Amino acid sequence: MNAPSPALVAPRPERLRLVGQRRQILAVMHQRLMFGMLVYAGIVVLIALRILYLAAFGDHAGAKEGLTALVPDRGDIVDRNGDPLARTIDAWTIAIHPNKVIGDKLALAQKLAQLMPELSADQYFALLKSNKPFFYLRRRAAPGLVEAVNAIGEPGLAIEREPDRLYPQTSLAAHVIGFTDIDGHGAAGVERAFDKYLSDPATRGKPLQLSISSPIQQALEHELGTAMTTFSAIGAAGVVMDVHTGEVLAMTSLPTMNPNVAGQGTPDQMFNRATLGVFELGSTFKPFTLAMALDSGVVTGPGQMLNCPDTLPVYGRVIHDTHPFGRQCSIAEAMMESSNIAMGQVADRLGKTRQQAWLKKMGFLDKPEIELREKGRPLTPGSRWGPLETITIGFGQGIAVAPLQLAMGYATLFNGGIYHPPTILKVGPDHPLGPGKRVFTADTSYRMRSLLRLVVMKGTGKKADAPGYRVGGKTGTAQKIINGHYSQTINLTSFAGVFPMDDPRYVIVVMLDEPKATKDTYGFTTAGWNVAPVVSRTISRIAPMLGVAPNMNREPNMSEVLPYIHDASQDTKKD
């Protein structure tokens, strides 16, 4: 009883300890609680701040993706006037996932066959039963068809919009523009040459401007196509070029293809005859030989006389002329009547070394310097280049170049003698004109004008004349090599023309591969009968567009050459 209760006396030390512990725990708890609260408050504040930030600067729920500028998936290609030649648009694509089809596959196959009759119902059914995960039914589908397919309501059908390359002018300048493969990368032409520019997000917003002019291209293609049909030729090529800048205004190769469905093209259609194909272009080479001779002083002028027999045996071969003189002839006459014998002699006097040096300077021994990748390497005698080859090259046999190179050579010859590499891009601030390099003297360039005008006025190229446009040029009829021999019947005819000849601005080169004779050509298959009229018609059409004013009263100085022409009609009058 006396025992004091522990409560009345001083607490037991363990109890005291207990109190101290509790207080400590309490303090710790407070601390923790405080910490938790702070953390919580911090989070709340953070969230509040974030909300405020979002409210002030963030996107709202309805915001769309930042569409501030229209950048296509692949850059446009436009012509020199800004008209589109290639564009990327969103096209409808119909595809199917056979695994995901839940409806009746047979009924679906029948419906698909009705809508898209390129495959039969059986084929569609076989496709649906196959375990392939995905295949395309139709790319670039018409909206009506898309609607009808969508109405089937099959979840396995996938209808999507995909960027698709479209060539609005279809086959116009197809070989220049080229086409893209299924992945959207360039596979030919400009699409291939400028693939990086067209697909790079930094540059593709700005369209790639070509030097091609659509109306001129169309005129050239149409006239050349008509001639090709008329003369049943197997192919044709044409180039129109600005002589001062080397810009290609039009370049075509026939038969052509449709780059919208490039896969359907045959290899023959895909082949670019204007740049990739190399041909022996024959007499169109003669002006170069003469210019080289004039420049080096081998020939003094159009009045120089040469011995022009009916045939000329040289180094074990006999050279013939289509219009043999059988007398002395002047240089002007030799050019007018396209004499192989006279030009062979000129080339012989010029010599191999000088001929090679000039051809090299003119870029005839290398691939053309154009941006396109489809370029053919010229064929030359190479190590066999001897005196005979020098003579034959003098009149265009034994060297094969692309028609583009021929145009380039004429541009060099008639712009005052300065070589500018041909270009497919429009010359302007983005693509400035280079300085060029001199090949012929300005005087030679000037003297050639009247000589080539003479060919069209009185010589083999009469049918190439377009009244008022002062066309000058040279015909070329080359025999094709069939089984290693020059064929006597199968030709490759070409014409290289320049207009207006009193102040040359444009060059046009036209070529027909294996033209056949017709009633209108009186059985002839020479260039004067089939390609020369193409040049005449094309120039009449394009010259006004190019700003060449027709003038019946202007001509180059013909008094430089006309005195050296032997006029047979006057002989008969005298007699």
What is residue 186's DSSP assignment? B
Residues 216-245, interacting with other proteins (CB under 8 A): 217-218, 221-222
355 binds other proteins (CB under 8 A): no
Stretch that binds other proteins, among 63-71, 176-184, 303-311, 332-340 (CB under 8 A): 63-71
Quick one: 84 or 351, whose CB is closer to other proteins? Answer: 84
Cα–Cα distance, 256 to 101 (Å, whole number)? 42
84 binds other proteins (CB under 8 A): yes
Taking the alpha carbons at both ends of the chain, their separation in whole angstroms is 180
Which tokens go with 568? 């047979």
Residue 160 bridge partners (DSSP)? 93
170 binds other proteins (CB under 8 A): yes
Note whether 291 and 444 are within 8 A (CB): yes
Of 77, 156, 157, 169, the residue at the interface with other proteins (CB under 8 A) is 169
87 binds other proteins (CB under 8 A): yes
Which tokens go with 66? 């930042």
Of 8, 69, 182, 202, the residue at the interface with other proteins (CB under 8 A) is 69
CA atoms within a 13 Å half-sphere pointing along the CA-CB vector of 53:
6
The backbone torsions φ and ψ at residue 384, rounded to the nearest 5 degrees and listed phi first, read -85, 10
Note whether 342 and 331 are within 8 A (CB): yes
Stretch that binds other proteins, among 64-72, 332-340, 381-389, 420-428 (CB under 8 A): 64-72
Indicate which residues carry an active-site annotation. 283
409 CA to centre of own chain: 19
Listed residue (471, 451, 474, 479) closest to 461, CA to CA: 474
Label the pairing between strands 77-78 and 305-308. Answer: unpaired
Quick one: 199 or 258, whose CB is closer to other proteins? Answer: 258
215 binds other proteins (CB under 8 A): yes
Stretch that binds other proteins, among 161-169, 315-323, 422-430, 554-562 (CB under 8 A): 161-169
Stretch that binds other proteins, among 213-221, 246-254, 371-379, 380-388 (CB under 8 A): 213-221
Cα–Cα distance, 299 to 108 (Å, whole number)? 81
Give the nearest distance from C-beta 70 to other proteins in angstroms: 5
Give the nearest distance from C-beta 510 to other proteins in angstroms: 17
Sole residue written with tokens 């093209």: 265
Assess whether the previous peptide bond of 500 is cis (omega < 30° from 0).
Answer: yes
Of 11, 36, 386, 467, the residue at the interface with other proteins (CB under 8 A) is 467
Give the three-class secondary structure for 500: coil
Stretch that binds other proteins, among 39-47, 169-177, 351-359, 426-434 (CB under 8 A): 169-177
Quick one: 8 or 70, whose CB is closer to other proteins? Answer: 70
Label the pairing between strands 77-78 and 84-96. Answer: antiparallel
Residues 532-561, interacting with other proteins (CB under 8 A): 540-541, 544, 549-552
Binding site for other proteins (CB under 8 A): 52, 55-58, 60, 62-64, 66-70, 83-84, 87, 89-90, 166, 168-172, 214-215, 217-218, 221-222, 466-469, 540-541, 544, 549-552
